[in-house]
Amino acid sequence: MSTPAPALAARTVLHTWWPLASSWLLMGVEMPAIAAVISRFPDDTVNLAAFGGIVFPLALLIEAPIIMMLAASTSLSRDAASFVTLKRYMTRLALMLTLIHALVAFTPLFDVLVLHVIGAKPVVLEPARIGFRIMTFWTWAIADRRFHQGLLIRFGRQHQVGVGTVVRLLGTATMLLAGWGIGGTSGIVVGTSALAVSVCCEAAYARWCARAVIAGPLADAPPVARRIDLTRFIHFYIPLAMSPLLALSTQPIASAGISRMPRELDSYAAFMVLNGLSFMIRSIGVAYNEVVVRHASDPGGRAALGRFAWTAGLLSSGLMALIAFTPLATWWFGDVSDLTEEIVALAIVALLWTIPHPLMTFLHSYYQGLLVDAHRTRGITEAVGVFLVVTAIVIGGGVLWQGSPGLIVTTAAITAGATAQAAWLFIRCRVLPPIADYAR
């Protein structure tokens, strides 16, 4: 009679999570660093607005369908045949999205989106166009990187993901320091070049690390009972792909709302810096998604992972509160990010609305990981739809009200949407079948 496997321990969760959390945390440093450098070039408010209000939101929206390739690869790259099939689908999707990015960047579509859909001021159009063109191959690099990182996580080599992030940050730092030292260009060129080059460096490193897994444990892995075909992939991945697409569509919605509310340029400039700080703290919660996918089927996994999510989430929100209610906020927005006193004051008020968001991020990752493990990904898309609707309603109300700067309304809207999303995910996870019933 076999001995039952021990229940999942918190130290096992921590062992899987901390390399991924370190990787995401380091990645979170990237945006504040870019913002800090852009703010030290001429026309800093315009360039920050172009990057944070136009270039980055549009680039994120286009690459959104590929974001969940990390979770898909972690879940499905179980044998060589599955890996090859999944890679073929990833390549086709990445090529299509890259062509869409190029179509927007190099045609009048960009003018239509920026001036008429988002409603930005004409002064940001040309800086944003230059930056968006520089980032043309960003989506391809993101897709390739996340696909191979999923393979590394599946076979227990998540520490190499963390090393890859160090490679990326070195690329970012090199480009930022070179641009700052040489001069003779604009902040938007330096910032977008740093982002594009660094992601390509990380993608190359992830692909290089994956070679040992492909030749070793992946080749030796027994064939899975259920092979991946196009129908199964579409059924599994389309809901996953729709989730970040819907979620990140709030970025241009936020930009469009900010452009129609008081203090437009100040809000745009602060939006990038505030998002950078918020993401840096929330990033360790984003990393938790793959941990849940990896361990949800372990004995006692759901309960142990849930306890960890609540503990780490509350601590993260506590850190956000500590920054918001102490001079750390003034130091970050003023000394580090070099914003003007008026924009610093605006950013600090908006920061208060972000305090619950880190906890919500951990809960999103926990519930989403359970749904991915159970192959019930439709609930994830539904929850993101709830997030989008709630966020859009609050932003729309702010546009009609015209009583508060766009940054504050938008930040409050995103936090309200994230809370509604967590609630919907909780509802969907209450009806999950027992782990023994999952079709593997």
Q: Report the pLDDT averaged over residues 348-360.
A: 96
pLDDT given at position 362: 97
* Residue 434 banded pLDDT, cuts 50, 70, 90: low
Query: How many angstroms separate the CA atoms of 358 and 362, rounded?
Result: 7
Place 437 in a pLDDT band, splitting at 50, 70 and 90.
very low
Model pLDDT, residue 438: 45
Domain-by-domain residue ranges, the chain? 10-437
| Average confidence (pLDDT) over 330-338 | 91
The pair of structure tokens assigned to 233 is: 């992939």
pLDDT of 5: 61
For the record, the structure tokens of 391 come out as 């966020």
Q: Tens of pLDDT along 256-314?
A: 899 899 998 889 888 888 988 998 899 899 889 889 988 888 888 888 999 999 999 99
**HEC assignment per residue over 307-331:** HHHHHHHHHHHHHHHHHHCCCHHHH
Residue 437: Cβ within 10 Å count: 8
pLDDT per residue over 164-175, tens digit each?
A: 888 998 999 999
pLDDT at 436: 47
Q: Model-level pTM?
A: 0.77
In angstroms, what CA-CA distances link 418 with 88, 124, 318, 435?
33, 29, 17, 27
Instruction: Write down the residue that tokens 């166009």 correspond to.
Output: 129
d(CA 430, CA 261): 40
